[in-house]
């Protein structure tokens, strides 16, 4: 009887553990954490909050050393999206950032679905096994930018 009770408890525990959802990581921080906690963690990693752009639905942070801006979109302290943007004065700089991130994401998630793949505009959509959506974009036009958009909704950003 004890064995049956123990087996039933183990099955319930296993089911409870399997129902927890996995989220994408952004700089080692899970998108499943609260927006306030992510903001606080990024402040500890050298980011500063942009009080002019931050409002009740978005935290905007920047890191002057990396020329990086991070927008954390949230609703009731639950993260919906994180947008990481890099701006550079030269196309070569953004292309290098894009290539490094592209290789990193290819190693983690496999080959991307390429919506655009030209020299001046590239857009890579990654399949993340239900953890969320991930899009890496390069725009080498008037203002060269690279952006990475992380979403908690798996199919939100897919082409």
Look at the block and give the residue holding tokens 């954490």. Answer: 33
Q: What percent of the chain has pLDDT over 90?
A: 53
Percent of the chain with pLDDT over 70: 85
Residue 86 lies in a domain: yes
When the pLDDT of each residue in the chain is averaged and rounded to a whole number, the result is: 84
Place of tokens 């290789």: 103
Q: For residue 5, is it within any domain?
A: no
pLDDT of 131 strictly over 70:
yes
Can you give the pTM of this predicted structure?
Answer: 0.81
Question: Where does the pLDDT of residue 92 fall: very low under 50, low under 70, confident under 90, or very high at 90 and above?
Answer: confident
Residue 94 covered by a domain: yes
Q: Which residue has the higher pLDDT, 71 or 92?
A: 71
- Tell me how many domains the chain contains: 1
Distance CA 3, CA 153 (A): 41
Ranking 17-21, 32-36, 37-41, 66-70 by mean pLDDT, the lowest is 17-21
Helix (H/G/I), strand (E/B), else coil: 104: helix
- Radius of gyration, CA atoms only, the chain: 19
Question: Is 115 within a domain?
Answer: yes
The boundaries of the domain holding residue 65 are: 24-151
């Amino acid at each position: 009887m004890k064995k049956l009770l123990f087996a039933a408890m183990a099955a319930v525990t296993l089911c409870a553990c399997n129902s927890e959802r996995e989220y994408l990581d952004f700089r080692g921080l899970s998108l499943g954490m609260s927006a306030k906690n992510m903001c606080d963690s990024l402040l500890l990693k050298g980011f500063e909050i942009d009080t002019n752009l931050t409002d009740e639905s978005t935290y905007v942070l920047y890191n002057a050393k990396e020329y990086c801006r991070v927008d954390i979109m949230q609703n009731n302290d639950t993260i919906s999206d994180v947008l990481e943007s890099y701006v550079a004065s030269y196309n070569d700089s953004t292309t290098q950032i894009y290539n490094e991130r592209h290789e990193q994401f290819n190693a983690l998630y496999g080959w991307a679905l390429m919506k655009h793949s030209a020299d001046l505009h590239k857009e890579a959509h990654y399949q993340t096994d239900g953890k969320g959506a991930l899009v890496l974009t390069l725009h080498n036009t008037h203002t060269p930018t690279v952006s990475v958009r992380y979403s908690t909704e798996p199919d939100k950003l897919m082409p």
